[in-house]
Structure 1
Amino acid sequence: MSDSAMANTLQEQVAVDDLGSDRFVSRVNPARMGNAANIAYGGCTISIGIQAACSTVSATYLLYSTTGNYLGPALTDRKLKCSVRRVRDTRTFATRLVEISQDQDDGTPRMCMIMLADFQVKEEASLFVYSAPPSMNYSPPEQCLNTSEGVKDLVRRGIVTEKMEKFYMASFGFNARFFETRGAPETVGPNNLYGIAKTVKTPQHDLDITSKTTADWFRCRHPLARLQDQFSGLGFILDGALSFIPLTHSNKFFDDAGPCSSLDFALRFFTGDIDMSQWYMREIKTIAGNDGRTYTEARLWDRKGNMVAIMNQQSIMRPPKALVRASL
């Protein structure tokens, strides 16, 4: 997909068109990010599934949980199609099962993801209001550099090369179309370019892998019209980096591993009070790794310290083939 065919705003990226009978199609093709192949960023698929599910319920129902499985990679040269099944509709709850697919060259559909989305009518009051804080105190966004500034600062200080800068921006720069992002300097990813700069000693160098964090602040560059667009937008961005953050927190990159991609996800929202034009802080930690898989979590807070959402994923993470052969 050429640049001219790509979405210019997050609103366009997460939009769907109604085909009737609870079937929907993405307005634009999914985009590539962090992958050299013709494979779309997983957050595109999640966001379109959320948008389709939300389009079949009344606006009085708030999305609180969506879980799903990646069934195959989505391609960047064709649109995503969604078929929504209305599993439950009560006065309080609604549940939707969403099948997300793409048409193959011969016209037959190929499944990319299956998703379950749960909604609840907004409650009049809450007995408890609480949330866990971030793992540590991070610099506020006003004291953090944006993505481009941060990388250029690392180049200026001789920590990374211009070649690394160009590779990083080419791999992950798509996100800047939709979001202003500022990395927290106390964390790993903004300092080692998410593993590209393998020899960099980050501020968390001596911590165990399960104690390390990558954190950033982000806000949307353009307005989002409806709450369902906010939900879809968070589904888009919170998918980012979860499959490979164990590499980042080990000063490794994709070339240090075999297959590395998301297998499933769970995204839970704790409030419908979302305004992505404001600053939100995301913290990513990996929790466990075994049997060729990793389990990693992204937590999201608003400026007041209220937790807004959590996304966690299991991902495939195999060693490189050369290492496997050497161990046999």
Structure 2
Amino acid sequence: MSDVLQELLSLLKLEAIGVNRFRGHSQDLGFRNLFGGQVLGQSLSAAMETLPDEQWVPHSLHAYFLRPGTVQDSVEFEVEIVRDGRTFCTRQVTASQNGKAILTMLCSFQQPEEGFEHMAPMPQVKGPDGIPSQLELARMFRDYFPERVRDIYTADKPIEMRVLDPVNIFAPTKKEPLKYVWMKADAPMGDNRTEHQTMLAYATDFNLIPTALHPHAVSVTQKDMQVASLDHSIWFHRPFRMDEWLLYAIDSPAAAGGRGLCRGQIFNQAGELVASVAQEGLIRKVPAAGKPA
């Protein structure tokens, strides 16, 4: 297992600091604030620490980002056991920094069972072979990044992501609000189901909201753009592995009121829909004089 993958798996594991209370470290990915996917993955990890046994699997989570997090501070998680039923159980997680909530999440778990099945078809797109990764592209355009984040953006990544027909973030042009991303862990992982699930939660926060910017020819790198996740939902449909290629098919059906809505479907290479995602984010163009309160 690579060092960067091991680092991510360690980041998603938490330290117990009390009854149903946990602490997680923070990681600087070069963004203006703490990466929301980190808090999502850690919150799911915290909830799973309180389950009655290992048979329970997550089937959905719904989170609101309440305040920007900082990369300098650790994150504390408090889990409320809302319900323990025979086939479903529910947890509410509050993630805080310095005594203030930055995220609240409600997540539900289920005992595995058989039932009716149907699913949307997988989009007919090129496979991952031969597509340059986001890391390779970042290294090609290394000198375009601000010096402060240059080394972070071009460092080895624990999850390899390959985008079909990527946007030039330094000179964006108008495109349809669609994006297809192949992603997988950069090295083989073990069979710990929790690690695959929390890593998927972490990974789903990449690439979503920027898709809502495509029709407007703007980019998250522009200084006059304020972009942030407002909420995030995931539905887990079928088992999957993060060390095998997954297709993240993203679209943005609407933008209004300074917000953009994005949806994602995640397929394995066999064409099975393994998870669905939805997120609304802030996409606000601000005056040069400064950002609104």
**Fold agreement, TM-score > 0.5:** yes
How big is the alpha-carbon RMSD for the aligned residues of Structure 1 and Structure 2?
A: 2.8
Instruction: Assess, with a 3 A threshold, how the Cα gap between structure 1 residues 230 and 7 changes in structure 2: closer, same or farther.
Output: closer
Structure 2 unaligned residues grouped into runs of 5+ = none
The question of whether the paired residues in 2 share the 8 Å contact of 1:67 and 1:267 is answered with yes
Tell me which of 118, 122, 133 is aligned to 2:121: 133
The question of whether the paired residues in 1 share the 8 Å contact of 2:5 and 2:158 is answered with no
Tell me which of 23, 33, 52 is aligned to 2:29: 33
Q: Deviations over 1:87-134 (max 9, x none)?
A: 01011010000011012xxxxx111100001001000x2222x22124
Deviation at 1:249, TM superposition (A): 4.7
Deviation at 1:191, TM superposition (A): 4.2
Instruction: Assess, with a 3 A threshold, how the Cα gap between structure 1 residues 213 and 310 changes in structure 2: closer, same or farther.
Output: same
Q: Is the partner of 1:65 in helix, strand or coil?
A: strand
The question of whether the paired residues in 2 share the 8 Å contact of 1:282 and 1:299 is answered with yes
Q: Is the partner of 2:120 in helix, strand or coil?
A: coil
The question of whether the paired residues in 2 share the 8 Å contact of 1:164 and 1:197 is answered with no
Alignment partner of 1:22 is 2:52: no
Distance 1:263 1:145 in 2: 30
TM-score calculated relative to the size of structure 1: 0.78
Tell me which of 221, 230, 236 is aligned to 1:263: 230
Distance 1:305 1:173 in 2: 31
Q: Deviations over 1:147-173 (max 9, x none)?
A: 344456xx6xxxxx6633788965744
Deviation at 1:83, TM superposition (A): 0.5
Q: Deviations over 1:239-260 (max 9, x none)?
A: 1132332224533113275432
Matched ranges for 1:230-245 at <5 A: 230-245=196-211
Alignment partner of 1:216 is 2:178: no
Distance 1:225 1:315 in 2: 33
Distance 1:25 1:323 in 2: 38
Q: Deviations over 1:47-70 (max 9, x none)?
A: 110000011112111100000110
Distance 2:71 2:128 in 1: 33
Alignment partner of 1:111 is 2:106: no
Instruction: Assess, with a 3 A threshold, how the Cα gap between structure 1 residues 262 and 232 changes in structure 2: closer, same or farther.
Output: same
The question of whether the paired residues in 2 share the 8 Å contact of 1:266 and 1:312 is answered with yes
Tell me which of 25, 40, 50 is aligned to 2:44: 50
Structure 1 unaligned residues grouped into runs of 5+ = 104-108, 156-160, 200-204
Amino acid at match of 2:15: D
User: Which residue pairs with 1:99 in the alignment?
Assistant: 94
Matched ranges for 1:1-328 at <5 A: 8-26=6-24, 29-33=25-29, 35=31, 37=32, 39-57=33-51, 58-103=53-98, 109-123=99-113, 125-128=114-117, 130-134=118-122, 136-150=123-137, 163-164=143-144, 172-173=153-154, 176-184=156-164, 187=165, 190-192=166-168, 195-198=169-172, 209=176, 212-222=177-187, 223-224=189-190, 226-254=192-220, 255=222, 257-271=224-238, 273-321=239-287
Q: Percent identity?
A: 21
Aligned residues: 285
The question of whether the paired residues in 2 share the 8 Å contact of 1:244 and 1:261 is answered with no
Q: Is the partner of 1:142 in helix, strand or coil?
A: coil
Out of 43-52 and 239-248, give the one that drifted further. Answer: 239-248
TM-score calculated relative to the size of structure 2: 0.87
Structure in which a larger fraction of residues adopt helix? 1
Q: Is the partner of 2:206 in helix, strand or coil?
A: coil
Instruction: Assess, with a 3 A threshold, how the Cα gap between structure 1 residues 248 and 173 changes in structure 2: closer, same or farther.
Output: farther
Instruction: Assess, with a 3 A threshold, how the Cα gap between structure 1 residues 49 and 173 changes in structure 2: closer, same or farther.
Output: farther
Deviation at 1:12, TM superposition (A): 1.0
Amino acid at match of 1:119: F
